[in-house]
Structures are given as structure tokens and as C-alpha cells.
Structure 1
Amino acid sequence: MELAALATAAVPGLSPTGVAAAADDARDFTSAVVIDSEGHRWRIRSPQHQEAAMRLETELQVLRGFSTGIRAELPFRVPSVAGAVRRGEMRTFVYNHLPGTSLELSALAQQPQAVIEDIGRTIAAIHDLDEAVVDNADLPRYSAERYRQRRLNELDQAATTGEIPALLLRRWEHAMEDRDLWRFTPAVTHGDLHEDSLLIEGERVMAVTGWTDLHSGDPADDFAWLTAAGDAEFTEKVLAAYRRHRTGEVDEHLMRRAALTAEFALAQWLVRGHASENPEMIAEAKGLLEQLKTDIETYGGQPIALTPAEGEAPVAPAEVQDSRPVARAGAAATVADTGEWADSGEDDDEPAVITDAAASGRSNHEDVREEVTEDHDQTGKVPAFAPRPLPGDEPTGSIPVIMDQPPAEEPLPDRIFEEEDEGDLPIHPDEASERRAKEKHFFPAVASASSAASTESASSAQSASSAQSAAPVDHADPEPSSSPASPDSPESPDSPESPDSPASADSAASPEADEDGQESIYQRHPGLRPPAA
């Protein structure tokens, strides 16, 4: 119920009548689906710690970059932010609800060919996006060689834990040192794509969520989740569909790097556990690493390097490889509740209960401690690798270090949010990016609300006459209706609406106002009306 209250604060006028849990990573976010009095659904997502808050702020920048033109060209829908409210030092976001349901990987592999074809088309559409989407959000772009070097730096950092089996360290380093494996053309990459990110309805991928790690880099990262499918036929069908729909180049070693990414994610999970001092994450990562080591010793593992390491047997071809799928770290943190509404027949008018697990024992993100483990043969630990400096780039781990930054001097330009931004944010847009954001109308639905009101009032003299006799607009409202500034308009986006303006008068006289004579959120902002469930 706390999330429902936050949704009301983030989107004034929203009247919740029910709430249910939404599938998400419970270690990072508390999520729910809220249904309002008009039967529309909204998704609310609240961060559990500072690093998760930083990811949501990054996602906000990404979603702003999806202009109307870009969204129209995509074969799927992406979320839209309807509002935000501050919860302590972090912000909780409310999104327009998207159609479709996420499926378990095993169930996804059993879907009809049309769904599998659409999954390949969806990934291809992401990789064919213009890199301006990345640039507008001030997110990183990597060349193939720089991306390989970053992977090596992350491997060095993981080795400092002294808890990664030596077999895996040698295997990963050999693959990362193989330059021929890393000859790829960088592309816009989702960065956190997996089965929970795909919302399926019928035989279509209706929407893609989780845009917190967008960047330009290795497209193989978006195929890592398929290595956990355990169904080679399903993986091959998705890859074949991807090749058919992709307009850019598809390199021949893509699935080898995808398998490497899936394996190395276990080491990154271990580093993240140490950084947050979370013993549960550390124990989970160590268990998964031991399973992977045993699998490789028994079966040989999935092929990653192009040539075998010194002293190792030749790598078997992929089609005859007998290996278990790589488990995705953190998958167990997804909430068990599927977001269904109560159907027991009792108290149907009461909201469902949110069942997200709390991130117990979790602390805010800290720098990974730089401890060098000595070489002790009796413990099985391995020495740390020597750091590999990258020109123009500091070595990084799997988690970006949050640096001290001065508070933002100006609030974000959108009038959707109820209050000004404060504190440290991961991205501080400069004057040029602010201007581009206003020119591109990243929230055209909000902008159309004022235009629709003006057209409606101008089209009928009778409506204008009725509006003049209506009660004036209450200017004590902290969120006056306004549309984002247009480059052709001299008016400031922060200027409140005049009580004598046709739009205000028409709204006040609207016959769809509630019993207290106050217009609902959907009259003030028609563009925020989400699609009916």
C-alpha cells in the first residue's frame, strides 16, 4: 500500500483501487502494478539502495531519448515515465503500464515459431538503433578493442577476491586475450536483456523493459541469457531470426562471446556481493562458480576461445558440445508473485498484497576494496593479476563507482515531476543536451494535452462562453497544467496557465469533472492516459 500512496503523490489525481506485485529483482527494486478508479494500470518502481536509484535515473535519460519517431519505428513498445516522487534521498518512478506478460525461459522456448521469430526481430531492432539514442542520454560508447580491455580490467578486479577457481580465470583470460574473437562492429546494446525484459502477448513481443544499462558496445551481451536456455534448437532459431532481420553486420563469433559474457557474469556477481558486503550474494556467486568449474571439468564447457589454451584439449564444436546451461546470477531474486489480482471470491474489492522480498542486509554501494591476495598453495587461492591500464580510462569493475559530484544546479526540464531534483545524480545534462531534449519533444503526449484543450475551446463559441462563466482555476495547485516548451514559443515552460485562458476555462467547465468540480488527471493530461488493460 505504500507504493500505491507513492503513485498518488507522483501522479496527482490518480486514485488507486488495487495493487499487485510485479516481477522484478527484489534485491534492487520494490515494484508493483497499481490499478486506478478508471480501470487503467500503472507500474511503480522504487529503488532499494543508491546504486539501484542511479540505474533508474539512467533509465529516465534513456527513455527521454526515445523520441516519437524512434518509438514509431520500433516493432515493440518501450516504457514512458508518467511521474516521480522523492522517497528520502532516492526517487520512485511511475510508468505507464505496458501490455504483455514475461515468461519463464523454459516456457519461452516452447512458444510457437512466430514468437521465436519476433524475439530475434526485437533484438535486431535494438541493435539497429541509431547511436544518437546513446549520445542523447550521455551513455558510453565503446570500440571493440576498448571493450575487450575493459573486460580484462574487470577480470583483474575479480581476481583480487581470491575466490574464483583458477581454471575459470585461465579460461576467461585466454578468451579475452584472443583478439580475433573480439573483431565485431559495435552496436546499441540493451545491456540487461533476459526473459523478464520481454513482455509477450499472443504471438508477439509487445514491449521491452529494463533500459538501465543501455550503451554502445558488444551486441553479444544481449544473447548471453540464451546460454541458460538449455535448448540449442531454441537458441539457433532466435539467432537465425536475428540474422534475417538485422540490417547491420553480424559477426561469426557472436555466440562465443555471449557464452563468455554469461560465465563471466558470475564473477561480476561475486564482486558486486563484496562491494555491497552482502554475504548471500557472495555465497550464491561462489556456489555458481563451483558448479561452472565442475561442468567444464566434466564436459568441457561451452566453446568461447577460438583456440585451446596451452595444455588443454582442442575445443569441441558447438553442435556436439555436451554442457549444462550457465545459470544467470541473481535470477532467484525475482519475486515469486506474478502480479495476478486476487480471485478467491472474498474481499475482491480489496487490493492484492505486495510480496516483494526486502533486500535484507544490503548496504549502499561502496568502492571495491583493493586487497591483493597472496599466493598460498595450501588454500587454493590465486594471486591477483597485474592491472592493465587503459589509455584514457581507469580500470573498472562490474559496478560503476559512484563518485562525489556537486548537486545539480537546475531541475530537470520536464513538468511531469512534482518537485525539483536534488542531490547526486549520475547524469548532469549540459545546456546543449537540455536544448535538444526540448526540441525533440520526448513527451509528446503531455504536449498534446494543452494543444487539444486549445483546439477544443477554439472550435466552439458556445464552449468558450460557458467556460467564461465557470469557476476560475485554483492556482494553489503545485502542478499547473502546462506543456513542454517548444523552440518556436517564447513562453517559459514554468509559466502557470492564466485563469482567463481558453484552455483553463474549458477545463473548468468540462462536464467530465468529478463531483467536487475538480478535473481529473486525465482531463488535465490526456496524454498520460495509459492503454486499457
Structure 2
Amino acid sequence: MLAAVAAAAVPGVAPVATGPSPDDAADFRSCVVQDADGRRWRVRSPLNTEASMRLETEHLVLQAFTPSVRARLPFHLPSVAGSVAHNGLRTFVYSHLAGHTLSLRELQRQNTDPEPPLHAPSPSAAPRAPLAVQLGRALGTLHSLPRALVMDADLPAYSADQCRKRMLHDLDQAATTGLIPGELLRRWEDALEDTTLWQFSTRVVHGDLQEDNITIDHGALVSFTGWSDLHVGDPAEDFSWLVGMADPTFADTVLEAYSVAAVQPPDRHLLRRAHLKAEFALAEWLVRGVDRGIPSMVENAQRMLATLAEDVRATASPSPGVTGPVAERSPEGADPSSAPTGSVPTVPAPGHDDSGLETGASGHGATDTGAAPTGPAVTGGGPASSSEPYPRASSSETEDPRA
């Protein structure tokens, strides 16, 4: 069916084969189509009005990336080749990009043991950077794009405080379900009320970055996909997926490369907000299941939330991104090296704060604070007692809402 749609949407396409294409199975039907000339196309067909609006928005976003902007990015973006109305909704056909998506575990493996390139590089060519470095550079470049790119396309732009208030609103909505452990609701509310975490300069962010939207080809970053949520907002949104990495050094490497590539260094609490967003994503998943009336989705989310609550209790994590009990403040004038250890992060090298990132940030607009907040910062961690810090819902765990 999708192959026929591709033929109708793009003149001259004569499909001869189809293959799978990872996507959100609750919202889309997708596939890769190969035509008689050997060209490949990605087809995405929405299953509901909301998904259709997301595709329309993505089309608008991709148009905002002019050839000059695309040339600045160290990765490719898909291009819309055509579209056609199908069952009252619009299906889009994109030019297919090489490579494939990888699981978090496979991303980590290819970071240390990448697949060799198809063609031997020139002897004078610089060695290819590890995958984590490539991702950090890509995010740094993306977050350094001018805000006008988003605002001229009439896409959302939020201040740091608006980001916090929007998440508070979502928290209130999640609480009304009565299905989320109270300890998690209080944990997230405390983090949202801690205004020191929310003093940052907003950036152009992807908004839905996770492993299913990252295409890799033989150890090289090829593209970011899924551009329906591009906006100006909290850069931590594009780092929350890294919380699922079993090896924290992968995320550390991404952040280090990011701090070098970005025009402005990241704020000191970016990691903590990334952990908060990773935890809260489970509540958003539950709310989505409730709104759509999918019991299996709700039950899955409840199981993951229960696991998270157990991990929080087991690790005595007082806040997202904090690995254990907060150490008592050292007496004024005391040697910092005599402070209690345990959950206290290792003192970083000069020029970095406790998160391992360069300190200081300056904002572009009047809505941004323009300065790095004061107070202790913490690194990585998060409540975990298994190889993955937070249970995750993948597209393979979703259901067709029409079933």
C-alpha cells in the first residue's frame, strides 16, 4: 500500500521492493521503497489527525533548512520528495538517507569498535572521530543555529521560565491520572521548583532526539530525522536520551565534544534537567496511553514507573541526576577536600564545573538569564540498579490504536 502511495506522490517512481523503516508504530506506518532505478524512498503515513499535523509541521521545518543552513550541519537532513492525500490524511515521501538506526547498546559498541568504512580513506585524511564525538559536535552545531531559523518559520520559541512552567503544567496533568507514584510526583515537583536548575540560555533544539531518530552508517553519523518538534527551548531536551546509556563515559564524551562545538558552553545544570526529562518521559508515556485509551500502553508505563520508584528508593537518590544522599555542606572556611564523599562528584579540572562542562553562559534574548547558576552541580548517575538507568518505551512496544 505504501509503495503505491510513493508511486502516486513522486512522478517516475516504479516500486520494485519494500523494506522496514523504524517509526512510532502508534502514530505512523512507514517503510522504505526501492524503485526500478535503484533509488530508495522513505514513506510515512499517519494513522491519526495528530500524527498528520506532525508530518505537516516537519515539512515546514525541513523547508526552513535552506541549502546554506544545511551546508553548515555535520549531518544530513531528509528532503520531502512528494506527498499525497490518503484516507483523509497526507502521506509524505522522503528521499532516503543511507545508514540505519541502532540501539543504545549498539551505539556504545560502535563508539569503541566501529564498523570499517565501505571505502578505504585517503592516507592524508584525518582519522574519523568516535561516534560519541560526532554526536556531540552535531548537537553543538545544531544548538548554535540562529533562533531566527525557528522564529521566521513561525515555530515555537520558549524562554527558560516558560520551559519550566510548561513542564509544571504537564506534571499537573499527569497527576490527575492518579496512576503515578506520589514519591515520583513530589520528586519532579521539587526539581521544577528549584529555580537554580532553570537558569539557562535557550537554544534551537531538535525536541525529539533519541536513538530511533539517529542514522548511522559504518560508524559515521549520517542524519537526524523526526523534525516535527523543532523549537527554541531547553537544550537538555536533546540530551535526555543519553540517560539510557549503560556506559556513562559515552554521555561524558558527547558533552565534552558538544562544549567545544557549541558557540556557547552548556550551563552547569544541563545534565540534571536531562535526567529529569528522561524520568518524566515515562509519565508522559502514561498520559499518552490514557488519552488514547490503550490499556496495554498504560500498563507498560505503570510498570516502568514502578521500576523507577524502586530504583529511586534503592539508591536514595534525592533528585534526578543526583546519585545518592546530598552531602552536608562543609563548614565555612573548611578545606573542601575534607567534605564527605560518596555522592559528592569528583572535583573537575580547572575551567569546568562539577558536571564536567565549561562554566558560564550568555543568552541572546531578554528572556534568557545569561548567566550560569550558582550552587552545587552533579553529574550523570540517576537512580539505577540495572545496566540501563531508566526503563524505556521503544516504538516496538507501541500498539496500533485502531487494533
Give % identity: 46
- 1:46 maps to 45
Equivalent residues in 2 for 1:457-468, closer than 5 Å: none
2:30 maps to amino acid: S
- 1:289 maps to 305
Deviations along 1:402-447, one digit per CA (max 9) or x if unpaired, are: xxxxxxxxxxxxxxxxxxxxxxxxxxxxxxxxxxxxxxxxxxxxxx
Equivalent residues in 2 for 1:45-194, closer than 5 Å: 45-110=44-109, 111-112=111-112, 114-194=130-210
Work out whether 1:323 is the aligned partner of 2:384. yes
Does the 8 A contact of 2:2 with 2:31 survive in 1? yes
Normalising to structure 2: TM-score of the pair? 0.79
- 1:256 maps to 272
Q: Distance in 2 between matches of 1:219 and 1:321?
A: 19
Larger mean CA deviation between 132-141 and 37-46 belongs to: 132-141
1:212 maps to amino acid: S
Change (3 A) 1:40 1:173: same
- 2:376 maps to none
Normalising to structure 1: TM-score of the pair? 0.60
Displacement of 1:327 in angstroms is 2.2
- 1:19 maps to 18
Partner-residue secondary structure (3-state), 2:299: helix
Partner-residue secondary structure (3-state), 1:83: strand
Does the 8 A contact of 2:132 with 2:251 survive in 1? no
Q: Distance in 1 between matches of 2:383 and 2:287?
A: 29
Q: Distance in 1 between matches of 2:28 and 2:138?
A: 25
Q: Distance in 1 between matches of 2:74 and 2:299?
A: 40
Displacement of 1:103 in angstroms is 1.1
Equivalent residues in 2 for 1:233-382, closer than 5 Å: 233-301=249-317, 303-304=319-320, 316-317=343-344, 318=379, 323-324=384-385, 325-333=389-397, 359-361=400-402
Q: Distance in 2 between matches of 1:15 and 1:139?
A: 36
- 1:203 maps to 219
Larger mean CA deviation between 111-120 and 21-30 belongs to: 111-120
Partner-residue secondary structure (3-state), 1:33: strand
Partner-residue secondary structure (3-state), 1:304: coil
Change (3 A) 1:198 1:330: closer
Displacement of 1:313 in angstroms is 8.2
1:74 maps to amino acid: L
Does the 8 A contact of 2:23 with 2:395 survive in 1? no
Larger mean CA deviation between 34-43 and 104-113 belongs to: 104-113
Larger mean CA deviation between 196-205 and 206-215 belongs to: 196-205
- 1:401 maps to none
Q: Distance in 1 between matches of 2:172 and 2:324?
A: 21
Displacement of 1:204 in angstroms is 2.0
Change (3 A) 1:192 1:322: closer
Does the 8 A contact of 1:62 with 1:133 survive in 2? no
Gaps of 5+ in 1: 335-357, 363-533
Q: Distance in 2 between matches of 1:168 and 1:326?
A: 13
Q: Distance in 2 between matches of 1:135 and 1:254?
A: 23
Displacement of 1:273 in angstroms is 1.0
- 2:238 maps to 222
Partner-residue secondary structure (3-state), 1:216: strand
Deviations along 1:241-270, one digit per CA (max 9) or x if unpaired, are: 111111123101000000000000111111
Change (3 A) 1:302 1:11: farther
Aligned residue pairs total 336
Greater than 6 Å deviation, 4+ residue runs: 305-309, 312-315, 319-322
Partner-residue secondary structure (3-state), 1:129: coil
Gaps of 5+ in 2: 113-128, 329-341, 345-378
- 1:340 maps to none
Q: Distance in 2 between matches of 1:329 and 1:301?
A: 22
Q: Distance in 2 between matches of 1:202 and 1:303?
A: 38
Displacement of 1:323 in angstroms is 2.1
Displacement of 1:120 in angstroms is 0.6
Does the 8 A contact of 2:322 with 2:380 survive in 1? no
Partner-residue secondary structure (3-state), 2:146: coil
Larger mean CA deviation between 194-203 and 23-32 belongs to: 194-203
1:316 maps to amino acid: S
Q: Distance in 1 between matches of 2:318 and 2:246?
A: 11
Does the 8 A contact of 2:161 with 2:198 survive in 1? yes
Partner-residue secondary structure (3-state), 1:185: coil
Change (3 A) 1:38 1:216: same
Does the 8 A contact of 2:82 with 2:94 survive in 1? yes
Does the 8 A contact of 2:52 with 2:90 survive in 1? yes
Does the 8 A contact of 1:25 with 1:333 survive in 2? no
Q: Distance in 1 between matches of 2:392 and 2:383?
A: 19
Does the 8 A contact of 2:283 with 2:301 survive in 1? yes
Partner-residue secondary structure (3-state), 2:154: coil
Does the 8 A contact of 2:315 with 2:323 survive in 1? no
Does the 8 A contact of 1:134 with 1:188 survive in 2? yes
| Rg (Cα) greater in structure | 1
Q: Distance in 1 between matches of 2:138 and 2:36?
A: 34
Displacement of 1:86 in angstroms is 0.4
Displacement of 1:94 in angstroms is 0.2
CA RMSD of aligned residues (A): 2.2
Partner-residue secondary structure (3-state), 2:60: helix
- 1:337 maps to none
Q: Distance in 1 between matches of 2:236 and 2:381?
A: 21
1:212 counterpart (209, 228, 236): 228
1:273 maps to amino acid: G
Partner-residue secondary structure (3-state), 2:130: helix
- 1:352 maps to none
Does the 8 A contact of 1:225 with 1:328 survive in 2? no
Deviations along 1:322-362, one digit per CA (max 9) or x if unpaired, are: 7241123344337xxxxxxxxxxxxxxxxxxxxxxx60446
Q: Distance in 1 between matches of 2:323 and 2:196?
A: 10
Change (3 A) 1:270 1:319: closer
